RNA sequence: GCCCCCAUCGUCUAGAGGCCUAGGACGCCACCCUUUCAAGGUGGAGAUCAGGGGUUCGAAUCCCCUUGGGGGCACCA
């Protein structure tokens, strides 16, 4: 039988990094096995589910390149797949029908206990240091008793009978697992009093109906797996193979959460993490290829992936390592690709500067292209492009007199150097060509003639024209700036320095 | 409280009884390269393999216990 596995997120929040990892492992496993990867939206929590979250999930998966074979929407097309619909709220009839069957077979029963009663039970159990469980008040009601309650207008939930036994299964990640059903909290509610289905029930009904062969999901579902197995059995369905993935952890080793970590995929995307890095990093968080290579693209991961090699202990999400890997993938992008991905980040940065009241010049395609070799290897995240090169597009850069003077120099020397450098650039460099190669020799010569360290001269110029001490290579920077702007900024810096000097002299 | 899972450098991991005086990567430190910042290169510090018992000629690797951590036990998913 060919492999079918699914990613089943609920749209109660933006696509979570942990969900991405689960989706990725499902995808890798399905592709590796030549099986199907199915996306199912678990939106039965009406109170918390929102369409924009569903959109965020679909967008995120598309962006990562984790395309699904069946699901609510495929690559912008309408839903597709023979086991649809793929949104649970569109599958209510299926659940109702399945519940009906269980009721008929007395594998489930209506329960009339009020939430208040259940709450009181739970409190009592807690006080008696008992594990919380349903006491079974409605488990053996006679037909008349049920009718009486119905007559009172009490809306019943439907409970699934959980018999006493040890349920065992062989988890692909954890091996043999056995759980006593008596520790699971008693008979399970599968339908709310309004008739809507609950998670454990929908999972079993859907996985059965969608012919899922492998359930690959987070470890938080491990203890609940017997419930699903019992339900599969009651439904007369085959029991899929399970693989429970280790949790992704906060730095304090608790389950990764919004409170303590940045969990939304979209947030990483907005910071300029590239899909290659996110996929690569997450693949290696809990799985390893067994070799010492660690930079893999999606297709390479598919070739190598194996659930056997999934780690069983939880893994702390290490942003530093992600950033390193992101830099690796940014550098591996083709120039065209890099340009296309980086530009929106620069544009956005400049827009922000504009709204902050600064005068900004719009970058031209050609000058951005020229910038690529200078910046591509300097970005840990794409969003860093703004800070790196915005001085090229700002009408005025703020130059601090303090920064302008190199460590070994004083104000006088700096002033002299900037004026001299300006002269050299104005007189010796052709306005037409103005290339990095022709800038360097005369400026080095200048430093030598005056007995300055070239580095000091260059630093003074750098700060003068960019307002920063860390920039792309100086001569390329001057070229990017252009002759006119370079001269202008040297002038202005000289004024700033002279102005700062004046009061003290 | 009960049940389940987990346990190798700070972090991600290699290791499926002898190849381990435990390997790689991130991070950290130093040096090299260098006009700054990165990138890159070289080297270094960093794990008595949580602790204790077994099994075995031999254990990070198998078993048991302890400890620690995590997860689960909803008319949430």
- CATH number of the domain enclosing A39: 3.40.50.620
Same domain, A416 and A477: yes
**Per DSSP, what are the bridge partners of residue A287?**
A310
Does residue A319 approach strand B to less than 7 Å at its CB?
A: no
**Closest C1' nucleotide to A474's CA:** B35
| pLDDT, tens digit (0-9, with 9 covering 90-100), for A459-490 | 999 999 999 999 999 999 999 999 899 999 99
Spacing of A271 CA from B29 C1' in Å = 29
pLDDT of residue A114 exceeding 70:
yes
Same domain, A240 and A125: yes
Measure A324 CA to B20 C1' (Å).
29
Quick: pLDDT tens for A221-260: 999 999 999 999 999 999 999 999 999 999 999 999 999 9
Q: Where in the sequence is the domain holding A266, given as residue range(s)? A: 4-88+249-319
Rounded CA gap, A384 and A369, in Å? 17
Statement to judge: residues A255 and A144 lie in one domain: no
What pLDDT does A398 receive? Answer: 87
pLDDT in tens, A257-306: 999 999 999 999 999 999 999 999 999 999 999 999 999 999 999 999 99
Are A227 and A241 in the same domain?
A: yes
Told to judge if A123 belongs to the known catalytic residues of this protein, a careful annotator would answer no
3-state secondary structure A352-391: HHHHCCCCECCCCHHHHHHHHHHHHHHCCCHHHHHHHHHH
Instruction: Give the model confidence (pLDDT) of A117-128 as tens digits.
Output: 999 999 999 888
Q: Please tell me the predicted confidence (pLDDT) of residue A245.
A: 97
Residues A52 and A77 placed together within one structural domain of the fold: yes
**Looking at the structure, do residues A153 and A241 belong to the same domain, yes or no?**
yes
Please report whether residue A225 resides in a domain: yes
Confidence grade of residue A74 (pLDDT, cut at 50, 70, 90): low
H or E segment and range at residue A190: strand A188-191
pLDDT digits (tens, 9 = 90+) for A21-41: 999 999 999 999 999 999 999
How many Å apart are A176 CA and B17 C1'? 23
Neighbours of A368 (CB within 10 A): 19
A422 domain-assigned:
yes
Between residues A1 and A452, the one the model is more confident about = A452
Band of pLDDT at residue A504, cut at 50, 70 and 90: very low
| A108 and A227 together in one domain | yes
Whether A377 maps to a domain, the answer reads yes
Among residues A392, A414, A442, which one ends one of the domains?
Answer: A392
What mean pLDDT comes out for the span A174-203? 94
Q: Are residues A259 and A346 in the same domain?
A: no
CA distance A360 to A255: 44
pLDDT score of A177 more than 50: yes
Instruction: Indicate whether A326 belongs to any domain.
Output: no
A318 Cβ nearer than 7 Å to chain B strand: yes
**Distance in angstroms: CA A323, C1' B25:** 13
- What is the model's pTM? 0.94
pLDDT value at position A500?
Answer: 67
Tell me, what's the ipTM? 0.96
Long-range contacts, A13-16 (Cβ 8 Å, 24+): A13/A53, A13/A258, A13/A264, A14/A53, A14/A56, A14/A57, A14/A60, A14/A264, A14/A265, A14/A266, A14/A267, A15/A56, A15/A57, A15/A60, A15/A61, A15/A264, A15/A265, A15/A266, A16/A256, A16/A263, A16/A264, A16/A265
In terms of domains, do A185 and A98 share one? yes
Predicted local distance difference test score (pLDDT) of residue A431: 67
Q: Which residue, A392, A418, A433, sits at the end of a domain?
A: A392
Q: Which nucleotide is nearest to A154 (CA to C1')?
A: B75
Considering the domain architecture, whether residues A177 and A48 belong to the same structural domain is answered as no
Q: How many CA atoms are closer than 13 Å to the CA of A413, on its beta-carbon side?
A: 15
Q: Which residue from A448, A452, A464 is spatially nearest to A409, judged by alpha carbons?
A: A452
What are A78-90's pLDDT values in tens digits? 778 889 899 999 9
- Whether residue A73 is contained in a domain is answered as yes
Q: Does residue A328 belong to any structural domain of this protein?
A: no
Q: How many domains does chain A have?
A: 4
Q: Which residue is nearest to nucleotide B72 (CA to C1')?
A: A223
Whether A432 has a pLDDT exceeding 70, the answer reads no
Across the range A337-354, mean pLDDT stands at 97
């Amino acid at each position: 039988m060919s492999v079918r596995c699914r990613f089943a997120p609920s749209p109660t929040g933006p696509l979570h990094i942990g969900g991405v990892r689960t989706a990725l492992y499902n995808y890798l496993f399905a592709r590796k096995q030549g099986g199907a990867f199915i996306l199912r939206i678990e939106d039965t929590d009406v109170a918390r589910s929102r369409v924009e979250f569903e959109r965020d999930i679909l967008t995120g998966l598309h962006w990562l390149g984790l395309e699904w074979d069946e699901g609510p929407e495929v690559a912008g097309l309408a839903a597709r797949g023979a086991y649809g619909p793929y949104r649970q709220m569109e599958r209510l009839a299926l659940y109702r029908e399945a519940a009906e069957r269980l009721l008929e077979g007395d594998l489930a029963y209506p329960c009339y206990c009020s939430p208040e009663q259940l709450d009181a039970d739970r409190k009592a159990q807690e006080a008696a240091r008992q594990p919380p469980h349903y006491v079974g008040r409605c488990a053996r009601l006679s037909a008349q008793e049920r009718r009486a309650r119905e007559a009172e207008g009490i809306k019943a939930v439907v409970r699934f009978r959980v018999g006493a036994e040890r349920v065992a299964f062989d988890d692909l990640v954890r091996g043999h697992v056995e759980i006593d059903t008596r520790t699971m909290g008693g008979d399970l509610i599968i339908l709310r009093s309004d008739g809507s289905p609950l998670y454990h029930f929908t999972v079993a009904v859907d996985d059965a109906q969608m012919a899922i062969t492998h359930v690959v999901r987070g470890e938080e579902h491990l203890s609940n797996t017997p419930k699903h197995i019992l339900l599969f059995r009651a439904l007369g369905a085959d029991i899929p193979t399970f693989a429970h993935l280790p949790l992704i952890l906060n730095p304090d080793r608790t389950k990764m959460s919004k409170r303590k970590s940045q969990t939304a995929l979209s947030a990483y995307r907005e910071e300029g993490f590239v899909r290659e890095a996110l996929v690569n990093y997450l693949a290696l968080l809990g799985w390893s290829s067994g070799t010492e290579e660690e930079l893999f693209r999606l297709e390479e991961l598919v070739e190598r992936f194996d659930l056997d090699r999934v780690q069983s202990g939880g893994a702390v999400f290490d942003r530093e390592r992600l950033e390193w890997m992101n830099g690796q993938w940014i550098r591996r992008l083709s120039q065209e690709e890099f340009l296309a991905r980086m530009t929106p980040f620069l544009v956005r940065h400049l827009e922000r500067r504009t709204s902050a009241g600064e005068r900004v010049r719009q970058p031209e395609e050609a000058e951005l292209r020229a910038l690529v070799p200078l910046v591509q290897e300097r970005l840990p995240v794409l969003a860093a492009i703004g800070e790196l090169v915005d001085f090229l597009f700002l009408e005025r850069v703020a130059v601090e007199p303090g920064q302008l003077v190199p460590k070994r120099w004083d104000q006088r020397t700096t002033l002299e150097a900037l004026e001299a450098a300006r002269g050299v650039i104005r007189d010796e460099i052709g306005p037409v060509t103005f290339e990095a190669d022709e800038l360097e020799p005369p400026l080095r010569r200048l430093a030598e003639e005056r007995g300055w360290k070239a580095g000091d001269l260059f630093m003074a110029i750098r700060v003068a024209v960019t307002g920063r001490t860390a920039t792309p290579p100086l001569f390329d920077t001057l070229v990017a700036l252009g002759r006119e702007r370079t001269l202008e900024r040297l002038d202005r810096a000289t004024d700033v320095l002279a102005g700062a000097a004046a009061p003290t002299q």
